[in-house]
């Protein structure tokens, strides 16, 4: 599916951090759970493909945590570095066996991984039964340098 069909109006108007904050608020209200969102670093305009991929990973990870973890509080962290952006979704819920989930289908886990591979990103999932889950996504990006006015 072309990335244009996956575009979110929120991403377009609010940027990644604004769209993430909005989605966290909506899901928190709908599921009646606490979602703590923190954004660190200097916000940067990311290439559209990276923003879309991270936003879709957030949606999948957060919806899974809200629906299946049993946790009443979920932490979401978005961190901008000078050349990479990181997203983490962490719950203290029931957890699961990641390898077993992948063997049994793990469709959502595979989709998240594939979305990140399209933008040369990486996904890691840490979880154990009874110990919660952390979904961590990381994507490197390159910021185009602008030429100051009057320089050639």
Give the pLDDT score at 101. 83
pLDDT in the model for residue 103: 81
Q: What integer pLDDT is reported at residue 70 of this predicted model?
A: 93
Q: In the predicted model, is pLDDT for residue 136 greater than 60?
A: yes
- How large is the C-alpha radius of gyration of the chain? 16
Look at strands 84-91 and 73-80 and give their pairing.
antiparallel
Distance CA 48, CA 45 (A): 9
Core vs surface per residue 59-70: b (16+ CB within 10 A) or e: bbbbebbbeebe
pLDDT of residue 64: 93
How confident is the model over 79-103, as pLDDT tens digits?
999 899 999 999 999 999 888 887 8
What pLDDT digit, counting tens, does each position of 98-129 carry?
888 878 877 888 899 999 999 999 999 999 88
CATH 3.90.1570.10 for the 3-140 domain, yes or no: no
Give the pLDDT band of residue 143 (cuts 50, 70, 90): low
Q: For the residues 29-41, what does the mean pLDDT come to?
A: 95
What pLDDT is recorded for position 99? 84
């Amino acid at each position: 599916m072309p990335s244009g069909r996956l575009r979110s109006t929120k991403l377009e108007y609010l940027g990644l951090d604004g769209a993430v904050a909005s989605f966290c608020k909506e899901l928190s209200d709908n599921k009646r759970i606490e979602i703590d969102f923190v954004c660190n670093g200097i916000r940067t305009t990311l290439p559209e493909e990276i923003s879309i991929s991270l936003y879709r990973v957030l949606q999948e990870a957060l919806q899974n945590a809200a629906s299946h973890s049993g946790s009443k509080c979920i932490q979401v962290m978005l961190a901008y570095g000078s050349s990479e952006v990181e997203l983490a979704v962490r719950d203290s819920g029931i957890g699961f066996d990641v390898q077993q989930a992948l063997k049994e289908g793990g469709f959502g886990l595979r989709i998240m991984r594939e979305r990140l591979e399209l933008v040369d990103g990486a996904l890691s999932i840490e979880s154990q039964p009874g110990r919660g889950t952390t979904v961590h996504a990381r994507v490197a990006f390159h910021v185009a340098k602008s030429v100051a006015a009057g320089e050639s």
